[in-house]
Structure 1
Amino acid sequence: MHLIKLSAIDSTNDYLKQLNAQNEAESFTVVTAEIQTAGRGQMGSKWLTEPGKNLITSILIKDVLTSPDQIFLLNAAVAVSITQALKKFGIPGLSIKWPNDILSANKKISGILIENSFRNDGRIDSVIGIGLNVNQSDFSDLPRASSLLNIIGTELNKEQILFAIVEEMKRSTVNGLSMEMWHTYNNFIFRLHIPTAFEADGQQFMGIIKGVGTDGKLEVTLEDDSVRRFGIKEIEMLY
C-alpha cells in the first residue's frame, strides 16, 4: 500500500485520478486528507465533514473489474469490506443502506463514491472514495448521521481504521470478485425482509426489500405481492 497524506485538498478522488493519469499509480495507492473542500457523494450530493475529525480517503484499485457488468459487484465488495473492518472495532448494529451507506443502528456513519476509468486496452481503474465519521461529535444539522465516537463513546485512531479497511478490501478483491461476496452484501442490507415505508414518483407506499440485483437495482415486494425494481435515486426509504 502506498499512502499519501495531505493536509487539505478539494477532492481526494480527483487528486488520485489525476495522479494515476499522469504517473500510472500502483494498485492500492491511498490518499487521505484532514480537510476536503469539495467532497461529494452519490449523484453529486455533497459530503461535509469537520476538519481533522474524520477519515477522508480515496483508494485506487486496478485489474479487479474485468467488465462493466461487475461495477456494482465492486460497490458491494467495498461496502462489505468497510462493514467487516468496523466490526473489528466493536461498532454495533452495522448494516448497509442501499446502495452503499454504512449505518450503525439507523444512523449513517459512512458514504462511498466509486469512480471508474475505462482504458483503451479494456482495463478498468477504480477510485474508491470513502468518508467515515470517526471522532466528530456534532451532527445537529444532520439528524440521521452519527460517528464512531458518538456510538461507542471513545475516540478511535483514523489510520488504524484505514489499514483495517484496506486489508479487508484486498481480501475481497485479491482473487477477483465473487458471487459469494454478493450474498454477503445482501445479508447486510438495512431493513431486509422488514415492512418499510417508501416514496417513489411522489407516492408513498409500504414494501418489503427482497434484495439487490447484480445490476444494483433494489428489489421491493409491494402490497399486491408484485416485485418492482428501482434504480439509484428512484426511491426513498422513509424511516
Structure 2
Amino acid sequence: MYKILANTVFLGKDVRYLTECHSTNDLAMDEIRKKSLNEGCIIITDSQTKGKGQRGSQWWSESGKNLTFSLVLKPVFLKPSQQFYLSKMVSVAIHEVLSAYSKLFFIKWPNDILHFLEGKTCGILIENVINQNNIEYSVVGIGLNVNQTSFPFPNVSSLAIVAGTEMRLQDVLEKIVGKIEYWYRVLKSGDYSKIDGKYKSELYQLDRWAYYDDGEVFKGRIKDTSPDGKLIMEKESGEIKSYGLKEVRFL
C-alpha cells in the first residue's frame, strides 16, 4: 500500500494502488478516456503482468521489490513537436535522485537510466494524447529496480545492488515524484535551456568514441540530440548522422 505524497504540491495527491495489473500505463490511458483522472494521479502496482518498454519491448520486474507506476500529466503548454522535452525532463529528474546513490548513473538515450558498471536500472515509457495544437495528456510510465538483486537478463541492476542495502519503496517514490514535480515546473516555466544542459551533461557516451550498429558496425561518438528526439552522431569517417529509436544499437 502506498500513501498520498506529502512532499509535493500537486503530484501524487491521488494514489491508486493495485496488487497486480497488466500495465499501469494502459490503465491510466483507459481512465483518461473516461475523463476520470486528474493531473498528478499515480497508478502503482506490485506486479505488472504485461509491463511495457519502448517500441513494444517488455519490462520484467519481481513482484513487490521495485517501483512500477504511471504518473498522469497535462502538459497543454507543450506543442506536439516538443514532446521530447517530457522525456528529457523525466530522465533528468530520475537521474538526479539516483545520483545520490552513485555518481556512475547516466542517461542512456533516449531515456533509460543505467549504472556504468552494473547496468540498466530504470526504464521510462511516455505515452501522449495529442491534438493538433498541444499535448492534452501524458502518461509517464516508470519501472525502477529498487530491491531486486537477481535478474533473468544480463546488464540489469538495481538501487539495492548499487547501494548495498534495501530501501523503503515509499521513500524512493516520494523522492522520484518530488524531483519530477520540480523539473516539470522548470519545463512549464519555459526554461528549456536548463533541461537541455542537464540532459546533455548526463548523457551516456557523450563525445566518447565507441562501437555502434546501424545495420553495420561502426565507430562513432554521440554529439547531441535533436529537438525531435533523434540521436546525433559523428562517425569516424566524419559523417554526421541522426538516428531515431531502434535505428542504432549500442555495442
| TM-score (structure 1 length as normaliser) | 0.93
- After TM superposition, give the deviation of residue 6 of structure 1 in Å: 0.9
Taking the aligned partners of 2:147 and 2:105, their CA distance within structure 1 comes to 18
Instruction: Please state if 1:235 is matched with 2:248.
Output: yes
Note the 1:1-239 alignment, pairs <5 A. 1=12, 2-88=14-100, 90-106=101-117, 107-119=119-131, 122-139=134-151, 141-175=152-186, 176=188, 177=190, 178-201=192-215, 203-238=216-251
Secondary structure at 2:34 match in 1: helix
Secondary structure at 2:83 match in 1: helix
8 Å CA contact 1:64, 1:173 repeated in 2: no
| TM-score (structure 2 length as normaliser) | 0.89
Q: Which amino acid aligns with 2:198?
A: T
Ranges in structure 1 where 5+ consecutive residues have no aligned partner: none
Higher strand share: 1
Taking the aligned partners of 2:26 and 2:38, their CA distance within structure 1 comes to 16
Structure 1 vs Structure 2 CA RMSD: 1.5
- Which residue number in structure 1 is paired with residue 9 of structure 2? none
Runs of 4 or more, structure 1, over 3 Å off, are 119-123
Taking the aligned partners of 2:133 and 2:227, their CA distance within structure 1 comes to 25
Ranges in structure 2 where 5+ consecutive residues have no aligned partner: 1-11
Deviations 1:74-126 (A, max 9, x none): 100010011112234x2331101111110111410000000001258855200
8 Å CA contact 1:5, 1:33 repeated in 2: yes
Count the aligned residue pairs: 235
- After TM superposition, give the deviation of residue 64 of structure 1 in Å: 4.8
